[in-house]
Amino acid sequence: MALLPSRLSRYWLGLLIVVLVYFPFYARGLEGSSFWLVLATLVLIASIGAVGLNLLSGFAGQISLGHAFFLGVGAFVGATLSTPASTTLSGVSFWGLGLPWWVGVLGGGAVAALFGLVVGPAAVRLRGLYLSLVTLGLVFFGDFLFTAPALEKITGAVRGRRSAPVSFVFPGMESAPFIEGNSEALYFAALIVAVVGFVAAKNLMRGRVGRAFQATRDHDIAAEVLGVNVTWAKLTAFGVSSFYAGAAGALLGVFQANPIGSNFGGAAGLLVSIQYVAMIVIGGIGTILGAALGAVFVIALPELVKFLTGQGWLPFVAETGGGSFDESAFSTVLFGLFIVLFLLYEPLGLYGLWLRARNYWKGWPFKY
């Protein structure tokens, strides 16, 4: 099937891209403008990582809880590549090459992919739950690695290191065209990487590689018998998904301005990994669009709750700081319950809902 099978889907994709490109300019006029822009940027970055995880877990069926580790690798490698060498507040001098932001993104992805290839052989030997718990070990290994003073020049150890903002100032120009401020620059960088990443992922899954992944997921012994090189498929799955995670991590490092190792490893890292698993499952496992939908849901839900509380629709919930059961606690509980209820009634996730809606409108006014 072609990448964009019908004229209608091409039209919708074009419209989506136009909307996304126009969004920052529209957001300049909104009250609290930087908030919406920053939120949208975070959603885009998260969706890149989610697509990567979906390739590994959704298409190739390899359960991984170690996504945070690859994000961290990408963050620090990306920061080392694209931030000028500096001495920061605590007196530590960091390595930094000051290269353009996209070198950081690609480099972060590449190094993360290398780590993914190292983990890949474990997937060949282990299955299911055993594999997922080995990937859990990655998260703790990440904590060990990222906070070690031995790697201070790259990771900043316990204090973290600076990750320079994205700059679109091309050589020969005085300032970036159309773009005002670092937040907008990061948004566009994330948008470019997201679009490229999504198209690449969709294309990949359409071809030989995608079919090999799915065969591995569904019946790997049968696939081997039929001539699919399952070992190669699993290694590729880890490599590609780690690349995506590394690229997303590089952008995430810029977003956090001062990425710190303890946020990508240990208990905090596990929460990040879980967040990404939530994105792909809620979005729709094994679908590319699902990753994006899931990212929107997971990132935007707390903000939705705060919005509803602010409008007074949830009177039993106090505002931030006004008591134990305030919007933050409520949104966390709600988030947990949402996941549970969603999966109970729609195991295919948001993508399933989307399919349902689409089929309804396709067949309207007929029922089926």
Among the residue ranges 72-80, 88-96, 190-198, 233-241, the one whose residues contact another protein (CB under 8 A)? 88-96
Question: Is residue 285 a contact point for another protein (CB under 8 A)?
Answer: yes
Q: Between 51 and 270, whose beta carbon lies closer to another protein?
A: 270
Measured CA to CA, the distance from residue 71 to residue 90 in angstroms comes to 25
Measured CA to CA, the distance from residue 196 to residue 161 in angstroms comes to 28
CB-based contacts of 204: which residues, under 8 Å, 6+ apart? 55, 210, 240
Number of Cβ within 10 Å of residue 244's Cβ equals 31
3-state secondary structure of 105: helix
Interacting residue with another protein among 263, 287, 291, 295 (CB under 8 A):
263
Among the residue ranges 3-11, 110-118, 143-151, 230-238, the one whose residues contact another protein (CB under 8 A)? 143-151
Question: Is residue 168 a contact point for another protein (CB under 8 A)?
Answer: no
| Residues between 294 and 333 with contacts to another protein, criterion CB under 8 A | 296-297, 300-301, 303-304, 306-307, 309-311, 319-329, 332-333
Interacting residue with another protein among 16, 219, 359, 363 (CB under 8 A):
219
Measured CA to CA, the distance from residue 195 to residue 21 in angstroms comes to 11
The candidate with the shortest Cα–Cα distance to 68, out of 227, 243, 268, is 268
Q: Between 208 and 219, whose beta carbon lies closer to another protein?
A: 219
Measured CA to CA, the distance from residue 186 to residue 351 in angstroms comes to 28
Closest separation in Å from C-beta 2 to another protein: 28
Interacting residue with another protein among 159, 168, 200, 204 (CB under 8 A):
159
Closest separation in Å from C-beta 315 to another protein: 13
Interacting residue with another protein among 222, 358, 359, 363 (CB under 8 A):
222
88, 130, 229, 233, 331 from 221: Cα distances, Å: 53, 18, 10, 13, 43
Residue 43: alpha-carbon gap to chain centroid: 8
Closest separation in Å from C-beta 340 to another protein: 5
Binding mask 32-61 for another protein (x = CB under 8 A): xxxxxxxx--x--------------x----
Please, are residues 235 and 101 in contact by the beta-carbon 8 Å criterion? no
Among the residue ranges 109-117, 119-127, 170-178, 228-236, the one whose residues contact another protein (CB under 8 A)? 119-127
Please, are residues 161 and 259 in contact by the beta-carbon 8 Å criterion? yes
Q: Which residue has the tokens 């480099």?
A: 107
Interacting residue with another protein among 18, 267, 358, 359 (CB under 8 A):
267
Question: Is residue 176 a contact point for another protein (CB under 8 A)?
Answer: no
